[in-house]
Amino acid sequence: MARKTPGLNTASSADIAFLLLTFFLLTSSINTEQGIPRRLPPPKDPNVKEEQVDINKRNVLTVRVNFNDAIMVNSEIININELKDVAKNFLANPTNDPDLPMKESKDIEGIGDFAVSKGVISLTNDQSTTYNMYVQVQNELQRAINELRDQTSMNYFGKKYDNLDTALQKSIQKAIPANISEAKSKDYGGN
């Protein structure tokens, strides 16, 4: 006669599983990789002489941040809250102001003829600027670009930029380029 196998007591397996669970909860972190992506300019070639590119003055918006974290845009001191609107106005140039950047009509796939701004934002930091301020400035500039892209996207496709296909996003990127150039940091004193 075959013997009946006694049922296993499985109550403790829940405890073991809980133990594993707590272990993983403690040793792991939920994916928090996020931030502002940027591209550095390619390394300098020592053989190539640096050319001084002559950019029309009206096409440049100079943003300076000093060691006190104060912001100066084209020789005017402004607050961080105003920076976005200044940058937006500069890049869009809605009234075709002769002091604001020129526009160049380009044929862009999916959009057609679009007046692309030639504006470049030039960002200069002091060596003693805090990283927090640097990120805030980058953030505001990015916000200006993102809002312009959203507007253009709404006008042409009736959708927000984030909800577009990759191909259409590329078109918008061509229409509203993110031209932020970083000058070498200066040391104006301070600590």
Partner 1 sequence: MARFRKEEKKEVPELNMASMSDIVFMFLFFFMVISNIREASLKVEFKPPQATEIQKLEKKQLVANIYIGAPLNNDENTLPPGKVSVQLNDQTVKQEHLTSDVRDFVGNEKESRTTEDAAKLTFSLKVDHSVQMRYVNIIKEELRNNNALKINYATGKKVDAQRK
> Given the rule CB under 8 A, which residues bind partner 1?
10-11, 13-14, 16-18, 20-21, 24-25, 27-31, 33-43, 81, 125-132, 134-136, 138-139, 142-143, 146, 185, 187
Min dist. Cβ of residue 5 to partner 1 (A): 15
Give residue 189's region: left, alpha or beta (phi > 0; psi -120 to 50): left
The nearer residue to partner 1, 13 or 163, going by C-beta atoms, is 13
What one-character DSSP code corresponds to residue 186? B
The nearer residue to partner 1, 82 or 104, going by C-beta atoms, is 82
| CA proximity to 61, closest of 33, 27, 31, 101 | 101
Measure the CA–CA gap between 79 and 162, rounded to whole angstroms.
28
Min dist. Cβ of residue 142 to partner 1 (A): 4
Min dist. Cβ of residue 159 to partner 1 (A): 18
Measure the CA–CA gap between 147 and 153, rounded to whole angstroms.
10
The nearer residue to partner 1, 15 or 99, going by C-beta atoms, is 15
Q: Which residues pair with 76 in a beta bridge?
A: 73
